[in-house]
Amino acid sequence: MGILGIVLLVFFVIVAVLLILLVLAQNEEGDSLGGIFAGGSGSAFGSRSGNVLTKATTVLGALFLVISLGLALINRTPAGSGVESAGRQLAPESAVEWWQQDTAPAENPVPEAITPSDPAPEIAE
C-alpha cells in the first residue's frame, strides 16, 4: 500500500469520525434543503445562509469523497490480476463453453402423433 496509502487511510478515518460528529452535533430545526422542500424562505431550497457547522460539514463531506476516491485508485488491483484471471487459472485448459459443446442426439426420438384407427363412437343424446 505504501506510505501515501497509509497517510490517506489515516486522514480518511479522521475525516469520517469528524463528519459523523458534526452531523450529530447539528440541531434538528435547521432548514437544510428547504426543510425537505417545504420551503423556509423565499428561495427554492431554503435560506442560503449557513452557519459554521453546515459549512464545515460540506467541506468534510467533500474531503471524504476525494480521499475515498484516492484510496480506491491507490489500492486497485493491477489489470489482469482480479477475479477473472483467478477463475481462468482454475479452469481446465480443455474447457469448452456450454454453448459450443456438441450435444448427442437423443436415443429415443419423440414419437409421431398417434392417430386412432377407429373413430370415437358418437354419443346419442
What pLDDT is stored for residue 106 in this prediction?
Answer: 55
Spatial distance between the Cα atoms of 8 and 4, rounded to a whole number of angstroms:
6
pLDDT tens column, 16-50: 999 999 988 887 665 555 555 555 555 555 555 56
Q: Is the pLDDT of residue 11 over 80?
A: yes
Q: Cα–chain-centroid distance for residue 51?
A: 34
User: Which H or E run includes 103?
Assistant: none
Local structure of residue 74 (DSSP, 8 states)? H
Q: Tell me the C-alpha to C-alpha distance, in Å, between residue 80 and each of 76, 77, 86, 96.
A: 11, 8, 9, 21
Q: Is the pTM of this model over 0.75?
A: no
- Total residue length of the chain: 125
Cell of 93: 485448459
Has residue 5 got a pLDDT over 70? yes
Where is pLDDT greater, at 22 or 92? 22
DSSP conformation class of 18? H
pLDDT digits 0-9 by tens, 48-66: 556 888 888 999 999 999 9
Cα dist from 87 to 9, 80, 83, 90, whole Å: 30, 11, 6, 5
